Amino acid sequence: MVVYEPGFFKVKVTVSGVDAKGKPTHSVWEGNFDGKDYALTGDPDADARSYTKMNDHNLNFAEKKGGKVALTGTIAIAPDGKSRTVTTWMPGKKGKKIRNVAVYDKA
């Protein structure tokens, strides 16, 4: 589950779920959609995230660990606002990128 909470100066994004081994996950990011890195807590694979608003329905994002890009992606919100598609790319073995696509319905 992903919760976006608009604040006075920043947006808070909380992600909660279960990993492939059935272990609970939980991370929190607070920042702006301005392309700058802001701290990310609770994610063992990243310590910073940035979002860039492309238009009213699309965001680009990147996650970093120790200043090095660990994952990039896009978020596309459906025109009716009822779903979103998150596409991520991360480095794989032998330099080949791994692509993942997930579709989320609005609760």
The answer to whether 89 touches 98, Cβ cutoff 8 Å, is yes
Tens of pLDDT along the chain (107 residues) come to 888 899 888 999 999 999 889 999 999 999 999 999 999 999 999 999 999 999 999 999 999 999 999 999 999 999 999 999 999 999 888 888 999 999 999 87
Q: What pLDDT shows up at residue 83?
A: 95
Q: What pLDDT shows up at residue 31?
A: 96
Q: What pLDDT shows up at residue 106?
A: 85
pTM: 0.86
**DSSP E strand stretches across 7-94:** 11-18, 24-31, 38-41, 48-55, 58-65, 68-77, 83-91
Q: What pLDDT shows up at residue 55?
A: 96
pLDDT digits (tens, 9 = 90+) for 72-99: 999 999 999 999 999 999 988 888 899 9
The answer to whether 17 touches 25, Cβ cutoff 8 Å, is yes
R_g (Cα) of the chain, nearest Å: 14
Q: How is residue 96 annotated by DSSP?
A: P
* Exposed / middle / buried, residue 49 (Cβ in 10 Å: 0-12, 13-18, 19+): buried
The half-sphere exposure of 91 on its side-chain side, counting CA atoms within 13 A, is 11
Q: What pLDDT shows up at residue 100?
A: 94
